[in-house]
Structure 1
Amino acid sequence: MSILKLVEDRPTPKAVYNWKVYLLAAVASCTSCMIGYDSAFIGTTISLDSFKDEFGFGTMGDTERNLISANIVSCYQAGAFFGAFFAYPIGHFWGRRIGLLSAGLVFTLGAGLMLGVTGDRGLGLLYAGRVLAGLGVGAGSNITPIYISELAPPAIRGRLVGVYELGWQIGGLVGFWINFGVDETLAPSHKQWLIPFAVQLIPSGLLLIGALFIRESPRWLFGRGRREEAIKNLCWVRQLPADDIYMIEEIGAIDQALEEQRRSIGMGFWKPFQAAGTNKKVMWRLFLGSALFFWQNGSGINAINYYSPTVFKSIGVKGTNTSLFTTGIFGVVKTVVTFIWLLWLIDQVGRRNLLLIGAAGGSVCLWIVGAYIKIAQPENNKSDSLSGGGIAAMFFFYLWTVFYTPTWNGTPWVLNSEMFDPNMRSLAQACAAASNWLWNFLISRFTPQMFTAMGYGVYFFFASLMMCSIVFVYFLVPETKGIPLESMDALFDIKSVRHAHGQMVAQLRENEEQFRHDIESSGFAATKMGDEQVEDTTAEPKYA
């Protein structure tokens, strides 16, 4: 199977896989560039000597210094927690496009406030700017995966939502290397540490420009009763006429799903809240989606992202510049394996298998790193270079990155973007994103204290949580790859989680054959799909 081969839920014209759907995903994913950049640059920026000197870190004790560092990092996550919920009414009433535009505006305002910070003014503007920036990225983390999943053909939905994760990693790559660059090329000064803060304005500016031109989600328009505009946008995205059999099938599936929602959940603003409190099926999926981000953060990724200099110091890496370089390599590894995840793993291996493999391999690596630190005690090493054991520990740390990044880093976002009904999707994504930022906040707030109090035990703690996540996924999370959004209810109704995907695919095949038989029996003939001739419209489709 080639790396770009598609496994389709039904025969699909090649026109559907066009540049427009990728462009829309890329524009929306500027939000994740903002998130990824922050997660990477802030920890290394506050470790620069120029920043420490300007704000008097050298005169503080370890406890006070850890507290201020944790507050600078974590107030961003606190803002993002609330931003994820604030995005729900915006996305519901005004749409995904306006939601993205609002996220970009709030983030830009916050980033601008940070540029006014000086040693004389203190850290007040920095705290305020980071809270506002957090509100913006929290809103973006809610709306972007939904927007992309609602545009995506099922065969490449994982890949397109994966563009969101790719944006995260590209932003992180720049964030990891920006401080190495300013440390290498600029003398310690106010300008040296301010430049990394200013770079935040680039992805937010791109989002603001792009959001002015992108199309609104057709599924959101259908839900708001704007049918003609919805069909027009869907035809534009798919590059097919409205009377093409593929379009008739997709529009019919959307209509059927909306009708089912009217009967079960309802279409109003408060209906999803009522369903979340009274419908056990909805409550269960909300729990699954939110819990995935508990396990994601339980891997230790955000402790490493935000405090990478501390992490590498615990392994035995010495010197600010060396630590920044090592952190930059960490960013390169993450970005490279994200490309592999995006192009092949997410839509071929599937969501469930990736989570299981990543948790198992990542846990083993963290046990080994923690064991090395316990036995070798690298903080007592007088040499500036790593020992043989230290090099081995670094290898297993980077191997952990290879296991984690293409599995737990982006896959929970893909799952949450696709496993809910359209009317439930905004609230569900708000809950999932808020869960991510809640655990993100707790990890970023207490990581310095954890390393001080637990030492090598931090690695054992995260390794144990990764082992527990295997049990959670194996027994509770079904595979969703290649399943149309409108069929997610039926998928989660199947009791055998391990076999749910296979049974759902068989049911889809049966429904597809019946639909085409009914179409042909009614006298409808469609031998043209886009500009290409279809050899046999009744041929059995390939399934995941």
Structure 2
Amino acid sequence: MSATPGQNTSTLPPLTAGPHQRRLGLVAVIATFGGLLFGYDTGVANGAERPLQAEMGFDTLQIGIVISSLVFAAAFGAMLFGRIADKIGRRPTIILLAVLFFCGTLLVVTSPSGPEHGTHTTLGFSLLVAGRIALGFAVGGASAVVPVYLAELAPFEIRGSLSGRNELMIVVGQLAAFIVNAIIAALWGHVDGVWRIMFAICALPAIVLFFGMLRMPESPRWLVEQGRADDALAVLRTVRSEDRAAAEFAEVQRVTQEERAESERRLGIRAVLSNKNLLVILLVACGLGIAQQFTGVNAIMYYGQRMLAESGFSEDMIGWVNIAPGVIAVIGGVVALFMMDRVDRRTNFLWGYGLTALSHVLIAVAMMFLFPEGSPARPWVFLVLIVIMIGSIQLFLNIATWVYLSEVFPLHMRGIGMGVSVFVLWIANGVLALLVPSIVGAVGMGLFVIFAIVNVVSFLFIKRFVPETRGRTLEELEEDVMTGAIYVPRER
């Protein structure tokens, strides 16, 4: 059943409605609380970092370390938990991540401040960074494991929209953080420790994720890989019709048995690096992860309030107008989910990077030449252009990127492939998180000129190197990656 260039070879029975469909929907809702935590824990810093800095008396470098420590830790969390998920399973790994989210939140919230306002202790700074590192490991782990879990449970016809729900939940989490921050700031902004309340909210979805995942199934594809065929078939029967479950199970078993017959395909990192086709797809995935970070989306999500202040908004307005990018991100995510099973991944990428680069150019020109500091229109023009930029990224790039990473790797290297590519993605994210305040301080809105140049390069990279994945089962993708056939265009 190897994929022949030019045609779709899947002969699986069609999807049908029924209790199995509702069960699959429930699995997706519970698992994507990992994405919600990802979004809230990264977005909460947008509103919390300035009162945190004021209360603890951190300098610019120290607040940069506190914020970016989560992001750098997420890189290692993606690597570590990708491997753990291959060893112990996707479900228990997600449960472990829920515990880590909760413990990291406790460390952050209980970090002591100094004896006076504007001072901190070494212990307080250390516990705060330790808590952010724990949250970073959990965020990175969730970013690597949850999309894979959803992709392995999803039928190939709706794999894009189902696994893409995790990215939607990420931006829902970020929007929730922006709204909660604005409300808390309005009610208790004058109280020392207001940032602790903002961070404490992170514990609630962690509790839901922990207890919810206790009742969710394991990935059937992982079970087959472990030789637990009966368990895998039992899981498939809960999320598919009977005939579809049997047919899909047979296809997964066949591909797994073929892999076991070829010892060189039992892959660690050395085996991946020694196989040309696997090395190329790993490099493509890493390049895609770096490109996504240099859209500048997280510069806005982490430091949006600083940039809004730079553009000219008053302190009273910043918290509320900061919600606008979060709203457009959620709207774009909903539309992107609708598009995910209807529009090719490459088409999404090319439109996304093209429009994002154009948005960066418009922001740089408007802020640097057309609307000087002091112009009453300057902050509002900046906000409108940022909304357009975030909308372009969320509509075409963010969900498509995470779906692509979750589906492109063969099963026997999916954990390590996802781990490495997301590690690289988070390192790029961390570099930006650490450097954006300094870059804005040095060149102001010239930051967007840098982003524009990088995104033009990303557009050319997609056009030349990134193959299409939509319309293939995971098993077909596996064979096409191993043989190099994934680079041959197929007719729809």
TM-score by length of structure 1 reads 0.83
Name 1:149's counterpart in structure 2. 151
**Separation (CA, whole Å) in 2 of partners of 1:123 and 1:12:** 56
The within-5 A match list for 1:307-346 is: 307-317=303-313, 319-342=314-337, 344-346=338-340
Q: Does 1:412 align with 2:401?
A: yes
Distance 1:496 1:428, change over 3 A: closer
User: Structure 2 residue aligned with 1:69, among 58, 63, 73?
Assistant: 63
Report the CA distance between 1:274 and its aligned residue.
3.2
User: Structure 2 residue aligned with 1:196, among 195, 198, 201?
Assistant: 198
Name 1:4's counterpart in structure 2. none
Q: Does 1:86 align with 2:80?
A: yes
User: Structure 1 residue aligned with 2:469, among 454, 461, 480?
Assistant: 480
Distance 1:249 1:495, change over 3 A: closer
Q: Does 1:283 align with 2:279?
A: yes
**Separation (CA, whole Å) in 2 of partners of 1:265 and 1:295:** 34
Q: Deviations over 1:81-107 (max 9, x none)?
A: 111122133212211111101111112
Report the CA distance between 1:267 and its aligned residue.
6.9
Q: Does 1:459 align with 2:454?
A: no
RMSD: 2.0
Higher Rg of the two aligned structures? 1
Larger deviation, residues 226-235 vs 404-413: 404-413
**Separation (CA, whole Å) in 1 of partners of 2:176 and 2:137:** 22
User: Structure 2 residue aligned with 1:403, among 383, 392, 402?
Assistant: 392
Letter in 2 for 1:293: G
Aligned length: 473
**Separation (CA, whole Å) in 1 of partners of 2:269 and 2:380:** 52
**Separation (CA, whole Å) in 2 of partners of 1:296 and 1:336:** 19
Report the CA distance between 1:180 and its aligned residue.
0.9
Identity of aligned residues (%): 26
User: Structure 2 residue aligned with 1:304, among 296, 300, 307?
Assistant: 300
Report the CA distance between 1:56 and its aligned residue.
2.5
Report the CA distance between 1:68 and its aligned residue.
1.6
The within-5 A match list for 1:443-458 is: 443-458=432-447
Report the CA distance between 1:295 and its aligned residue.
0.3
Distance 1:211 1:247, change over 3 A: closer
**Separation (CA, whole Å) in 1 of partners of 2:176 and 2:431:** 25
- Aligned partners of 1:366 and 1:460 also within 8 Å: yes
Name 1:235's counterpart in structure 2. 237
Letter in 2 for 1:332: V
**Separation (CA, whole Å) in 2 of partners of 1:217 and 1:267:** 21
The within-5 A match list for 1:239-258 is: 240-241=241-242, 244=243, 246-258=244-256
Q: Does 1:439 align with 2:428?
A: yes
- Aligned partners of 2:12 and 2:247 also within 8 Å: no
**Separation (CA, whole Å) in 2 of partners of 1:390 and 1:455:** 14
Name 1:55's counterpart in structure 2. 56
Name 1:540's counterpart in structure 2. none
Report the CA distance between 1:249 and its aligned residue.
2.5
**Separation (CA, whole Å) in 2 of partners of 1:323 and 1:67:** 23
**Separation (CA, whole Å) in 2 of partners of 1:446 and 1:230:** 46
**Separation (CA, whole Å) in 1 of partners of 2:300 and 2:246:** 48
- Aligned partners of 1:261 and 1:421 also within 8 Å: no
Report the CA distance between 1:25 and its aligned residue.
1.6
- Aligned partners of 1:154 and 1:484 also within 8 Å: yes
Structure 2 alignment gaps of length 5 or more:
1-9, 115-120
Letter in 1 for 2:318: S
TM-score by length of structure 2 reads 0.91
The within-5 A match list for 1:490-529 is: 490-492=479-481, 493=483, 497=487, 500-502=489-491
Name 1:26's counterpart in structure 2. 29
Letter in 1 for 2:410: D
* Aligned partner of residue 190 in structure 2, secondary structure: coil
Report the CA distance between 1:478 and its aligned residue.
1.8
**Separation (CA, whole Å) in 2 of partners of 1:501 and 1:434:** 31
**Separation (CA, whole Å) in 1 of partners of 2:438 and 2:310:** 13
- Aligned partners of 1:491 and 1:501 also within 8 Å: no
Report the CA distance between 1:321 and its aligned residue.
2.9
Q: Does 1:429 align with 2:423?
A: no
**Separation (CA, whole Å) in 2 of partners of 1:53 and 1:366:** 31
**Separation (CA, whole Å) in 1 of partners of 2:356 and 2:176:** 24
Q: Deviations over 1:144-203 (max 9, x none)?
A: 111100000011100111110111011101111122111212241134221111001011
